[in-house]
Structure 1
Amino acid sequence: MREQWGQVRRGSGYLLAGLPSAMATMLVLPLLAIGAMSTGLGGLGLVVFPRMMIGMRRWSEWHRRRAAALLGVPVTARRATLPKGVRAQWRQVLDDPESRRDARWVLRHVVTGIPAGLAALACVGAAVFTAVAAPLWWLFPAGEPLRLLLAVPVTGWESALTAGAAQVAVAGAVTWWAVPRLARFHARGCLAALEPSAEDRLAERVGALTESRSGVLDAHGAELRRIERDLHDGTQARLVAIAMRLGVAREALPEESGALARLLQEAHEGTEEAMTELRGVIRTMYPPILADRGLEGAVASVAARAGVPTEVELGELGRLPAAVEAAAYFIVAETLTNAAKHSGATRVLVRLTRHDGALLIEVTDDGIGGVDESLGTGIIGIRRRAAALDGTVLVGGPAGGPTTITVELPCAS
């Protein structure tokens, strides 16, 4: 009983407070329209409109917290601040899905808040009015007596007490049953309008994961560059020094040293083999040429060493994430290796451009075509490198050629 009474009290307060707020909310959209149109008045709206949108965010957030408190569910606070700069502020206002949810809530709150508030006012008001007016029936004019239960005139204490008690009971019962349910219904609608849908949550989660993966890939690329520098400048340099000392020691030994000379020779040759293997490991980790000459220079170097005449066309690439640069380098290298080994081509064209936030890599050869990925042509490895960055690979290689491999790598970070 006590719990139900608490629900009636909270629901009544929620709906009765929502009635004037819904009436006030009717002014929100007209005011926003005025703020947007004021951009033509010396650019006033450029500054005013984003702040009006933030004001609407705070207004809707207050109602959101009230709805969550009524339902007893936790909610996280939404961002209600503006970045610096007019352009950044407008970009946030126009691109933020929360702004669209706020506008959706405004319409919903006006449409549902006013009827729900009036219904609660009628239920609570009927009980309160009857309890106050019934004992004062004698103040009403004789020609226009107080009427209760819609049609029963009150002409004496008997009718006042019986009809008044009946109307209070009916209004109280309706309030007891309907008001908490109506308040919860309205609160759930408020949260539904302001909370992201399952699709929106999934899209936001995918966006967050994409952003975090981009950061991980950048950190991974930076770590690979650090390891490459340490191996190149440290371990490889020490191996070179050891090899030189072993070479000098071999030259200094007399010819009749026998077993000692053979041991030095084996150590010297083993050191040189280790250096060769280390250079191969460094190139597969993060090619030093990328750090020295950038992607343009690295691709030009790969093309110059290709086993088939290769022409390179480079557009305006701008600054690329390290992970994208490394993937692009290895994709071009693998594609040129495939062309030299399998296509029988006499000419290869490599084109790198940047369009709509993505790096486009197109490699076309005039070979025999007929690309079959199941034969281990290296396309599977290219697809894996591209997939790691959410990229796509298209292979066009009909029998008789030509073969075109197009790779798109997103560059946004």
Structure 2
Amino acid sequence: MQKPQRHVGHGSRYLLVGLFTAMVSMLILPLLVVGAVASGLTALPVLMKALRHWSEWHRRRAAALLGVDMRPRLAELPRGLGAQWRQLLDDTENRRDLRWVLRHVATGIPAGLAALACVGTAVFSVVAALLWQVFPADEPLRLLGAVPVEGWGAALALGVVQGAGAGALTWWAAPRLARMHARSTVAALEPSEEARLARRVGELADSRAGVLDAHGAELRRIERDLHDGTQARLVAIAMRLGLAREELPDDSGALAKLLQDAHEGAEEAMTELREVIRTMYPPVLADRGLEGAVSAVAAGTGIPAEVKLGELGSLPKAVEAAAYFIVAETLTNAAKHSGATRVTVRLTRQDAALLVEVTDNGLGGVDETLGSGVIGIRRRAAALDGTVLVSSPSGGPTAVTVELPCAS
């Protein structure tokens, strides 16, 4: 806990510095206007960045006085004038900075003048009492408002009384005024609850995108290790077992049966391993990308399929894998249960989401309560915070629409 004298000193210094910066801040809005007009509005984003640094310095001072932690507000400018102007118009913190300038001028000057009056009176009382003889006889020093000083006794007595009064007022008022002004500064510059929530959502979205990318990379690494390592060793074992079976004489009996079981078990393990690899991260997706993989699975579905692909851009690997499996599962359901003679697959990018639409002309009537493949589709989409919409009236058609967030 701070000592009282330090508390008073910090408050007085805070207010006096605030008085100076408030007077400087009176020039900010005119400078913004002049700078923006003189540069043809091209310099306004840079000027607003400078204002952000100015306001953040005051925000840190206020937070230090109040003893609270504040998360800094970023003021980085993107490349390109268009991007800078979009940020300028979208960032609510810029409007907050402009409102703070007006508040700082309106509150910082009165509070600073009050502190200056208190501190100045206390200092003046001491200095003037010691120098009372400098004043002319016809205009003597007057303390306590109107009492003339005509001797050392009066000078010391009146100087002590006035200085003590001003000091007591400073002791009481300076910390309170400083904290009031600091709270006002923090309130003006601290993001609102909605802004903090939006920022947190953005951070979580970025974090999730990073996790998805890392997850996709790990799946690809495991797939490569299984494909190039474990699967290759199983193939070698199966080949040796096959060769051993061929070298055995016909009357080997139980040994031949054991080798046969081992050989068949190795081949079954390879089949299961290939299935696991395909369900983790399909090799066709790694080799041909999402567009090629979807075209390949549509071509092999057994139903005439039309694939329509928009401009997808760069997608997280986990989103690509989910989209591939969703298309594959939907096409499998259509081939097995719908009686459809035609299916359309459409992949498009809409802002920060990948839209997957699969429509068939089958009989419709999908009932998810019977354990249809739609449940698996919903689970894959939910893992990425996606949404699934199924329209399947009796008699058809059936349309499955999946939206997968893919912003990074």
TM range (shorter): 0.7 to 0.9
Letter in 2 for 1:210: A
Question: What SS is found at the alignment partner of 1:257?
Answer: coil
Higher alpha-carbon deviation: 294-303 or 57-66: 57-66
Aligned-residue offset at 1:197: 3.6
Q: C-alpha deviations, 1:229-287, integer Å up to 9, x for none?
A: 22223322332333333333333434333323222222222122111111110111001
Question: What SS is found at the alignment partner of 1:255?
Answer: coil
Aligned-residue offset at 1:300: 1.7
Task: Give me the whole-angstrom Cα distance separating, in 2, the residues matched to 1:18 and 1:289.
Answer: 65
Task: Give me the whole-angstrom Cα distance separating, in 2, the residues matched to 1:97 and 1:252.
Answer: 80
| 1:398 and 2:393 aligned | yes
Aligned-residue offset at 1:362: 0.9
Task: Give me the whole-angstrom Cα distance separating, in 2, the residues matched to 1:404 and 1:227.
Answer: 34
Question: What SS is found at the alignment partner of 1:371?
Answer: coil
Aligned-residue offset at 1:15: 0.8
**Residue ranges of structure 2 left out of the alignment (5+ in a row):** none
Q: 2:28 matched to which residue of 1?
A: 28
Question: What SS is found at the alignment partner of 2:355?
Answer: strand
Counterparts in 2 of 1:249 and 1:143: CA distance versus 1, 3 Å = closer
| 1:246 and 2:208 aligned | no
Residues 106-185 of structure 1 aligned to structure 2 (within 5 Å): 106-129=101-124, 136=132, 139=135, 148=144, 154=148, 168=163, 170-185=165-180
Q: 1:6 matched to which residue of 2?
A: 6
Q: 1:375 matched to which residue of 2?
A: 370
Task: Give me the whole-angstrom Cα distance separating, in 2, the residues matched to 1:99 and 1:141.
Answer: 59
Letter in 2 for 1:31: L
Task: Give me the whole-angstrom Cα distance separating, in 2, the residues matched to 1:35 and 1:405.
Answer: 55
Q: 1:19 matched to which residue of 2?
A: 19
- Please, which of 212, 236, 239 is the counterpart of residue 217 of structure 1? 212
Q: 2:68 matched to which residue of 1?
A: 73
Aligned-residue offset at 1:11: 1.3
Task: Give me the whole-angstrom Cα distance separating, in 2, the residues matched to 1:282 and 1:15.
Answer: 68
The answer to whether the 8 A contact 1:367-1:402 is kept is: yes
Counterparts in 2 of 1:371 and 1:118: CA distance versus 1, 3 Å = farther
Task: Give me the whole-angstrom Cα distance separating, in 2, the residues matched to 1:140 and 1:199.
Answer: 65
Aligned-residue offset at 1:146: 5.2
Task: Give me the whole-angstrom Cα distance separating, in 1, the residues matched to 2:310 and 2:76.
Answer: 39
Aligned-residue offset at 1:340: 3.1
- What is the Cα-based RMSD across aligned positions, in Å? 3.3
Counterparts in 2 of 1:140 and 1:337: CA distance versus 1, 3 Å = farther
Q: 1:303 matched to which residue of 2?
A: 298
Counterparts in 2 of 1:155 and 1:231: CA distance versus 1, 3 Å = closer
**Residue ranges of structure 1 left out of the alignment (5+ in a row):** none
Residues 278-297 of structure 1 aligned to structure 2 (within 5 Å): 278-297=273-292
Question: What SS is found at the alignment partner of 1:313?
Answer: strand
Question: What SS is found at the alignment partner of 2:260?
Answer: helix
Counterparts in 2 of 1:166 and 1:380: CA distance versus 1, 3 Å = farther
The answer to whether the 8 A contact 2:140-2:149 is kept is: no
Task: Give me the whole-angstrom Cα distance separating, in 2, the residues matched to 1:107 and 1:137.
Answer: 46
Percent identical among aligned pairs is 70
Q: C-alpha deviations, 1:139-169, integer Å up to 9, x for none?
A: 58979995855xx565877998887766555
- Please, which of 266, 269, 278 is the counterpart of residue 264 of structure 2? 269
| 1:208 and 2:203 aligned | yes
- Please, which of 184, 191, 194 is the counterpart of residue 196 of structure 1? 191
- Please, which of 105, 126, 129 is the counterpart of residue 100 of structure 2? 105
The answer to whether the 8 A contact 1:250-1:261 is kept is: yes
Question: What SS is found at the alignment partner of 2:393?
Answer: coil
Q: 2:350 matched to which residue of 1?
A: 355
The answer to whether the 8 A contact 1:307-1:337 is kept is: no
Question: What SS is found at the alignment partner of 1:394?
Answer: strand
Normalising by structure 1, report the TM-score: 0.84
The answer to whether the 8 A contact 1:140-1:146 is kept is: no
Aligned-residue offset at 1:343: 3.3
Task: Give me the whole-angstrom Cα distance separating, in 1, the residues matched to 2:269 and 2:96.
Answer: 62
Task: Give me the whole-angstrom Cα distance separating, in 1, the residues matched to 2:46 and 2:335.
Answer: 61
Q: C-alpha deviations, 1:188-228, integer Å up to 9, x for none?
A: 22233333344433333332222122112112111211221
| 1:55 and 2:56 aligned | no
Question: What SS is found at the alignment partner of 1:393?
Answer: strand
Q: 1:38 matched to which residue of 2?
A: 38
The answer to whether the 8 A contact 2:143-2:162 is kept is: no
Task: Give me the whole-angstrom Cα distance separating, in 1, the residues matched to 2:255 and 2:3.
Answer: 96
Aligned-residue offset at 1:104: 3.6
Q: C-alpha deviations, 1:34-72, integer Å up to 9, x for none?
A: 3333343xxxx53x4343233223322332332233223
Q: C-alpha deviations, 1:330-354, integer Å up to 9, x for none?
A: 1111222233344343332211111
